[in-house]
Amino acid sequence: MTKTLLHTCCAPCSVSCVEQLRTEGIEPVSYWFNPNIHPYQEYKARRDTLIGYAKQINMELIVQEDYGLREFTCAVAEDIDHRCGTCYEMRLDRAAEFAAENGFDSFTSTLFVSPYQQHERMAQIAEQAARKWGVSFLYRDFRPGFRSGQQQARELGLYMQKYCGCIFSEEDRYAKQILRDQQEPLKHFQNR
């Protein structure tokens, strides 16, 4: 049986990925390394939900504890608008390194389930990391299972995050509201 490390961004995104891999006869080992997730309470909620879910479905989980606020923000600070590539590199490179150093045949990531991520860019970065560390990248386009996986996660009562993970993606989530508030900052108080 292939020994595959599954870099896991969160429990909800892992649902359909794990199901697909198991259907193929691959038993993934989940790997938590996400220094991009902020603030700490969000990081903790996602990590703890994954820990509980892994136990529930009897999946081995390796938690590499690294709340990387400073490292991540320093890495993306010079080009926040293009931060995703740096984020993918940080996480996929570490997953490939861990897989190579711990006897895994291959690695992949739950990031490949999201229709909101830069899929081709991630695959390119994962391939580079695979070559660098001498381990195979197990490419899977998990996106077809995204909606059903999210629905299953809701049914299971898993914590469902509202943004990608970094503090800048949370800002993007509120962009329209922030713009409205900037355009009409005192309107609410003037009408009293």
Binding residues for [4Fe-4S] cluster are: 9-10, 84, 87
Binding-site positions: 9-10, 84, 87
Residue 39 DSSP label: S
Query: Could you tell me if 46 and 34 are in contact, meaning their C-beta atoms sit under 8 angstroms apart?
Result: yes
Residue whose tokens read 């899977």: 140
Q: Classify residue 75 by burial, with Cβ atoms within 10 Å: 0-12, 13-18, 19+.
A: middle
- The CA–CA distances, whole Å, from 16 to 8, 22, 146 equal 12, 10, 7
